[in-house]
Amino acid sequence: MKKSDRYKKMYPVSWEQLHRDGKALAWRLIENGPFKGIIAVTRGGLVPAAIIARELDIHHIDTVCISSYDWKEQGKANILKGVDGDGDGWLIVDDLVDTGGTAQVIREMLPKAHFATVYAKPKGRPCVDTFITEVSQDTWVLFPWDASTQFTEPLINIVNSDD
């Protein structure tokens, strides 16, 4: 299924909002720590992991590298780099849990880790322990690293063009 068929709404996230939401996530995570370190899910989890690492004074950061999206659609999770161990004492950080497919692969690799995402959709929400903002399943979260500043049509024009 193509992204355009699956997503009916857009939720643009600015750098400032991502920073605020990342810091809010760090506040929620304080009670679950201390953590041995952070495992950032690349690529989306890198920026939130940096924010959380700063706020929780964590210096040991590793990555798990999984690719499940291309520019058109979400596909099967492809593990590019894993990590050793079962995740005990570690914090996994990602930007978003969508359907839960990637999160489930990570959960199987690191079942004892605490999994946190900044944003969560209903299908993926059960896969994570902590998140900040829930968005509907039919919403595309547009992260600042995937966007540029440009003119956009007023919502009413978009809605009326679908009729």
Q: Residue 16 carries which DSSP code?
A: H
Active site residue 95: yes
Catalytic-labelled residue, pool 5, 62, 70, 94: 94
Active site residue 84: no
Closest to 17 measured CA to CA, from 158, 103, 155, 141 = 141
Closest to 101 measured CA to CA, from 83, 129, 126 = 126
Rounded CA-CA distance 63/80 in Å is: 10
Active site residue 98: yes
Catalytic-labelled residue, pool 5, 84, 86, 98: 98
Catalytic-labelled residue, pool 62, 84, 86, 95: 95
How many secondary structure helices (H) and strands (E) does the chain include? 5, 8
User: Catalytic residues, which ones?
Assistant: 94-95, 98
